Chains A and B, each alone.
Chain A
Amino acid sequence: MNDDQIREIVFRGLRQIAPEADPALLRSDENIREALDIDSFGFLQFLIGLSEKTGVEIPEADYEQVFTLGGLVNYLAARIT
């Protein structure tokens, strides 16, 4: 899976949680939750959705690495088999 495909999966997940937002406008260094106003429940739902699509379960200890779009895409790219 290349970065564009991963980004598309991420966008689809974000649109489900924040239907009125356009995640494609996110800057890669922006905090996703703050930019799209996603609460902790919404973020967990989003990560569960990602794990189903990519097989990557992000542990809580790694949350700091995935708060931005760029960080999340890199994180997933390094782990998707």
Chain B
Amino acid sequence: MGEFRMPSLGADMEAGILGKWLVKPGDPVKRGDIVALVETQKGVFDIEIFEKGVVERLLVQPGMEVPVGTVLATIVSEGAAVTAGQAVPPAAVAEPLPAAGEALIKAPPATSPFPPAAPSERIPASSPSARKLAAELGIDLSTIPGSGPHGAIQRGDVERAAEQKKTAAPAPLPPVVEKPSVPDYQAGMRQAIAAAMSRSNREIPHYYLETAIDMSSALRWLERENLKRSIKERILPVVLLLKGVARALADVPELNGFWLDGRHQIQESIHLGFAIALRQGGLIAPAIHNVNLLSLDELMAATGDLITRTRSGHLRSSEMSDATLTVTNLGDLGVNTVYGVIYPPQVALVAFGRISERPWAENGMLGVRRVVTATLSADHRATDGHRGSQFLEALNRHLQCPEKL
């Protein structure tokens, strides 16, 4: 029997609200199906399942906020009896399972689709050191999520909670306000970004390398290609940059992966997080999967689709969790150089400024070229400047041969 759990939609997520089930007991599911909507600080996401079988029981009701890792539903292999599951009345569903029970479950009042959750009365599992610290700092253990086994609260969780409490406004604790619950994504988004970026700056010893890349021949090639295409099939320069990064990562795989559990974990698949600014403010960096395997046309389509879904609120869980390196492109109107902050647990980030005409010396001649500055921010625990430099050289090399991208 399989367990379908609350996924982590990025390093900054500790818990999520189950917004809506898109399946019911007895429904067949297969890998990649979208089975639920989950709301986090950053918005609402489509949650995929990675198992084949039949939904047996739904264990968490819409509106409940549960920590990452909580079992949301059980899945049985096809053919197994599911009568028991079908017989479960909705009321029984809210009963905490053993696994979920040890974690913190917050039951919301029944007033709105995504109401703020009230703290549970259940005392969650916690380590002695966490309990002691919580008592010292005046943290209520039933109000914070645990990251330990079965959602147990650990010392680090308490420290995080204390920090959040500190950074929160010093005003008296907000009463349980009965205001219409329009989720304040802007404030939530800011909090989520703040948590991830603070962690990055605290934990990751960044080093930075930058290089100027002559884009003239790549852009001339692209302009010729686009002339042959209808307006709907046009490819944007950023697609060349993304593909160049994927190619260079295949040459220098050390930058593609994670720093987790105190060690460097290089990933084979190249899933590029693509930082997308939201019009209402804030930023999401969902992943484009297997960029090295996509043609430029496919990559253009995938990127356009991702931007559209980011802005309309239909990102999938896998896109939020499995980027192996993030690329940020601060636009073709703005600055020349960007020094990015790595998104943990990734070990590098590649940032592009604007492509602009600049003086360029080559072969004893001075000319004007269209140039982009590529900046690598990398985790010094995982790699050294020598590797980073090899990556930027490889990136430059690939961008000089656009027809092979």
Contacts and interface: CB of A to CB of B under 8 A. Distances in A.
B231 A57 contact: yes
Contact of A19 (B223, B279, B331): B279
Interface string A37-49: 1011100110110
Contacts of B226: 60
B105 to A, nearest CB: 37
A20 B331 CA distance: 20
A48 B223 contact: no
B332 A40 contact: yes
User: What's the dominant secondary structure at chain A's contact region?
Assistant: helix
Nearest to A17: B279
Contacts, number: 36
B304 interface: yes
A41 B236 contact: yes
A77 interface: no
B331 A39 contact: yes
B333 interface: yes
Interface string B221-241: 001001100111010111000
B242 interface: no
Interface of B: 223, 226-227, 230-232, 234, 236-238, 277, 279-280, 303-304, 307, 331-333
8 contacts: A20-B280, A40-B236, A40-B332, A44-B231, A45-B304, A48-B232, A59-B227, A61-B223
Interface of A: 18-20, 33-34, 37, 39-41, 44-45, 47-48, 51, 57-61
Given A33-B333, A59-B227, A61-B223, 16 more contacts: A18-B279, A20-B279, A39-B277, A39-B332, A40-B236, A40-B238, A40-B331, A41-B303, A48-B231, A48-B232, A51-B231, A57-B230, A57-B231, A60-B223, A60-B227, A60-B234
